[in-house]
Amino acid sequence: MATEARDLVFTHRFAPGSSSATLLLLHGTGGNEDELLPLGRELAPNAVLLAPRGRVLERGMPRFFRRLAEGVFDQKDLALRTDELAAFIAAAASQYHFDAVRVIAVGYSNGANIAASVLLRHPGVLAGAVLFHPMVPFEPSPVPSLAGTPVFISAGTADAMVPRPLTERLAELLRSSGGRVEVHWVNGGHELSRSEVDAARVWLAESQQIS
């Protein structure tokens, strides 16, 4: 059963598991800490689950960082919230006693974007990532070293919110940083499809050896 501790900076859910791996579940705009728990259990039934709620509100809807317009991110706030999330992962690992070097992000949309930002700004914090419908959060300079970190990206060929070139640019950026990137395309829009979930589950089992 999921439990909550209130002394960490994010409102969140924690659910123990028998695996050494932890899935960090990051919702999209308007989601919450409960939304992706069923997805996490489907992707890796035995994994530890940690699901924070975004601390920024946009018209009452939780997000992980502010944006100035559709697809235009508040870079100062993004940097602050990325640092905040990286610190939360370390604090949660200490409190709940899970392996801090086996944390794999699973993010959708805004959650995928903050996960990509953690990868690029804090290499080594995440052991890998599943990014559903992400875009480039920012262009790092210099490019960090991801040293073989595995990343799964899925996107829709008809996604009006994330045009294909933005997905391809993120994949290119992560590869140039040394990440091992797999991109899965679906014939659809911004919604999360069954084929994406199935492909991510297989990828997690093969690349991260978790189930």
Catalytic residue among 109, 117, 154, 177: 109
Rounded Cα distance between 49 and 102, Å, is 12
Asked if 109 is an active-site residue, the reply is yes
As a whole number of angstroms, the distance between CA 26 and CA 64 comes to 8
Residue of 20, 122, 190, 193 with catalytic role: 190
Q: Is 122 a catalytic residue?
A: no
Residues 50 and 82 sit within 8 Å (Cβ to Cβ):
no
The residue written with tokens 């990343």 in the block is 151
Handedness of CA 136, 141, 142, 144 (dihedral sign): negative
Q: Find out whether 165 and 173 touch, Cβ atoms under 8 Å.
A: no
Please confirm, yes or no, whether 190 is among the known catalytic residues.
Answer: yes
| Active-site position among 12, 154, 159, 177 | 159
Q: Which residues participate in catalysis according to the annotation?
A: 109, 159, 190
